[in-house]
Every structure is written in C-alpha cells, then in structure tokens.
Amino acid sequence: MRRQILETPSPVTARPLHMSEVDRLEPSECEIVIDVAACGICRTDLQIIEGDLAARILPVVPGHQVVGRVAAVGKGVSDWSVGERAGVAWLAGACGSCEYCRSGRENLCADAVFAGWSSNGGYAEQIAVRSGFAIRVPGLFSDVEAAPLLCGGIIGYRALKISGIQPGGRLGLYGFGASALLAMQVATFWGCDVFVATRSPVEQERAIEMGAAWTGSYHDRPPVALDAAVTFAPVGYVVVEALKSVARGGTVAINAIHLDRIPEFGYDLLWGERQLRSVANFTRQDATEFLALAAEIPIRTVPDVYPLGDANLALIRLKEGLVEGAAVLVTG
C-alpha cells in the first residue's frame, strides 16, 4: 500500500511529504479498513504539515476528507460490510464517556482522535478508522465530489449553526475558500442575504456569480449591519473586521483551528451583546445533518484533482491560492 508520510513539519515548498510502501492494513476489533478512492486537501492539513499546528504524532499520514470502499471489518464490527462506500472526516474517535460525549458535545472531548493529526489519515491507498466514526456518504455525489464535503462542508455547516444565523438573515462570510463556498450554498438555500469579504478579486467575482448580495475586501463595510458572520481566513485581524460589521446582538463565529493573535480592539465593538465564538471540530450529528442537507440542495463542489503522488504540488498550489474550489487527491 502506498501512502504519503510526514516525518518533519516544514514549508510545503520543501516538499516534506514522502511516498512510502507498507503492508495492507488489518483492522482492529472495532475498526474498518477503507480502500481510499479520494481524499480532499484541507487548509488544516497545510497547517499541520508546515508546523503551525503542533504535531500530535510523527511520522503521520495527513488527510481527513476520505471517501472509499470498505475493504475489511474487525471482528466486533456489525454496522459495516465489505464493499460499502464509507467516508472518514476530521473527528475519527472520542472516548464516549466524558461529560462532553455524554451531552452530545463529542467535538470537545479531551481524548478525541483526529484523522491525519493524531491518527493516520487519507493521503494513502488505505485508512483504518473506528467503525462508529465512519460516515455514510450520499450516493448522489461521486467520490471526488463528496470528499470536500467531509471537512469544509461539515465544519462550515457547524459554523453557521454556531453563528445563530436564521433563515432570511444577513450573513457575512470573511474569506471565500473551499469551506465558505459550501457554507454559502447552505445559507442561500435558507434564503439568507450573503455578504462576502475577501481580498481576492477572483473570489469576489465567484461570490457574485453564486448570488452574493455584496462583495468587498476585509476592510470594507457591507451596506447593512449583519445578523451574523463567519470568519474563514486564518488571520486574527479579520475577526475584528467582521465584528465591526455585525449588528448589536450578532455573533461572529471563528471557523479556524489555528489563528494568529487577534489584535487589540475597543470594547465598543463587543458592547451591545455582540458575541465572539470559536468553532471547534464537529459532531457526528453535524455530519449526518449536513450530508442530508447537501443531498437535498444539492450542494455543488468544484474538485481540483491530483494523483496521490502529487500531494506536495497540490499543497503548494493551495498555499499560493491557485486552487479553484477544493484540491482532491485520487489513488486510481
């Protein structure tokens, strides 16, 4: 089995991933092994590979947007069969017994397992995952279409929930990469007016084509006060810019696992019962809800496909802003 291994975090321009060959995987009692067909590339992968996020294990196989077919099941697995299509997302395990897991907040579990960070991920021809955390993928989507849904889509959906945006509301999206592209489709399906802030003229044009009510740069103010905003850009000053545009009682949801420092800002921006909230991972319930909604809309993804051997190239293009839609690795 081929897989891309990260041994030492370093800039992607140094091409830090190396292809290796290992034996095919065998599942533990509670695991399934999936033959990977496609694995999306996420900005979080970039942050792990370059060391912005401290490594949990090394060496590690990155990747947490996996779609494939079940190749083997552990002796204790009864909910999956060989040949079924299955997905793996960021949340690949949780303890099941802590106060967070017991209250439906497994995304906050201190012992949670994350594919491609604290367990081997999907930049490989096979992946093993706890059967209870594998995801059933709607048949409407091809493998490469489905892969980007399994992180950017699900976490973007959770960010919308955390923001408190209601159908018909005024929503700001700050940053317009792969996750925001999917979140916008949900928001417009809910009848929201969407205001997009991004420094990229190309992304501004794409947002207008998708039905945005307004586009501008991060420092521009939308023509109306926003009910809620979600920030996708991994830079702290964007959070402050979003807060400037939110009406009293509104929420800014920060959709980032890594962020540089948020600059100092005056209390008057927060006053008026405005809220700042972080978005931390997602739950399996989020995944179930979002994928059903994605099939209902249906959501359109724009895969930019690369062979597994070109993972370093795809990451470089992602960092340089040259990926339109979502980068996806394929094994075939």
Domain boundaries defined on the chain? 2-141+301-330, 153-278
pLDDT at 135: 97
pLDDT tens per residue, range 70-99:
999 999 999 999 999 999 999 999 999 999
pLDDT tens per residue, range 107-150:
999 999 999 999 999 999 999 999 999 999 999 999 999 999 99
pLDDT tens per residue, range 148-192:
999 999 999 999 999 999 999 999 999 998 899 999 999 999 999
Please name the residues in contact with 213: beta carbons below 8 A apart, sequence gap of 6 or more. 193, 194, 195
pLDDT at 90: 97
pLDDT at 282: 96
pLDDT at 277: 97
pLDDT band at 324 (very low <50, low <70, confident <90, very high): confident
pLDDT tens per residue, range 187-225:
999 999 999 999 999 999 999 999 999 999 999 999 999
pLDDT at 100: 98
pTM of the model: 0.94
Q: Which long-range contacts (CB under 8 A, 24 or more apart) does 276-280 make?
A: 276/239, 276/243, 276/251, 276/252, 277/162, 277/163, 277/251, 277/252, 277/253, 278/253, 278/254, 279/155, 279/158, 279/159, 279/162, 279/230, 279/253, 279/254, 279/255, 280/107, 280/108
What CATH number is given for 2-141+301-330 in this structure? 3.90.180.10
pLDDT band at 259 (very low <50, low <70, confident <90, very high): confident
* Residues 328 and 147: beta-carbon distance below 8 Å: yes
Q: What class is the 153-278 domain?
A: alpha beta
pLDDT at 87: 98
If you average pLDDT over every residue of the chain, what do you get? Answer: 96
- Distances in Å between the Cα of 76 and the Cα atoms of 119, 135, 284, 332 are 20, 18, 20, 30
